Amino acid sequence: LVTERPGRLKLLSSAEPGASVTQVGADLADVGARGEGGLMGLLVQPDFASSRAFLICQTHDVGGSLRDIRIVRWQLAADGSAATRLGDVLTGLPVASGGRHSGCRMAIDDTGALLVGTGDTAVGSIPQDRTSLGGKVLRVSLQTGEGLPDNPFATSADANERRVLSYGHRNIQGITVDAAGEVITAEHGPSFDDEGNQ
C-alpha cells in the first residue's frame, strides 16, 4: 500500500520492477493537501492478514480549512480494489494553516504500542508544550489512541501529555524501532543537518 500526498491510495503487487499498480477506491475527500500536509504516513496493522486493517495519517480539511492532523483506521477489501474508513484513532495533532511541518509517521514498538512522530507546525514553542501533540513522539494504544500506563507522563491530568513518549522534536519524517527495541527518529534540522535521534 502506498499513499500519495494529494489524497490517493495505491496497491502495488510487489516491490519489484514491473509490479502492477491498482488505484484503491477510498473516500479521501477530507484530505487537505496543502504545503507539506496531505495524505502522509501509512502503517499496516500487525493483524492485517486477518483484519485487513491499516492506519493513515492525514491533514483533515473541513470546508476548505485545515482542521488538524489525524490518524484514521481503514480496512482494505479482499481484492485490494477499495478501502472502507473504520474511524479515527487519534485526532487533534496541530496543523499550520499552510500545512508547514505536518510530519506524521507511525511504527509499532516491541510492546505492540503505536508510536507516532509528529511535526511542530513551524512554531518553536509547540515541541516544548507537553499538552500539545506537535513536535513529539507519541506512544498510544493501537486500538483507542489513548496514552499508555507506562508512558513517562502517564499520571498527568492532561490526556495529551499522557500520550507523550518524547518531546522537543522539530518535524519527524521517519520513525522505526531497532532490534533492541529502541525508538529511532529522523527529523528536520534547523535548515540543514537533519537528525537521527534515539
Question: Mind listing the pLDDT tens digit for each residue in 1-50?
Answer: 999 999 999 999 999 999 999 999 999 999 999 999 999 999 999 999 99
Q: Give residue 193's pLDDT.
A: 86
CA angle (39 as vertex; 160, 109 as ends), nearest 5: 50
- Using pLDDT thresholds of 50, 70 and 90, give the confidence band for residue 188: confident
Residue 191 has pLDDT above 90, yes or no: no
Mean pLDDT for 156-178 is 96
Q: Give residue 131's pLDDT.
A: 98
Q: Give residue 54's pLDDT.
A: 98
Residue 140 has pLDDT above 90, yes or no: yes
Name the phi and psi angles at 112, rounded to 5.
90, 5
Mean pLDDT for 71-89 is 97
Q: Give residue 146's pLDDT.
A: 98
Cα Rg, the chain, nearest whole Å: 16
Q: Give residue 192's pLDDT.
A: 81
Q: Are 82 and 66 in contact (CB under 8 A)?
A: no
Mean pLDDT for 129-156 is 98
DSSP conformation class of 156? -
Q: Give residue 83's pLDDT.
A: 98
Mean pLDDT score of the chain, rounded to an integer?
95
Share of the chain above pLDDT 70, in %: 100
21-34 pLDDT, tens digit per residue, is 999 999 999 999 99
Name the phi and psi angles at 163, rounded to 5.
-85, -15
Residue 190 has pLDDT above 90, yes or no: no
Q: Give residue 69's pLDDT.
A: 97
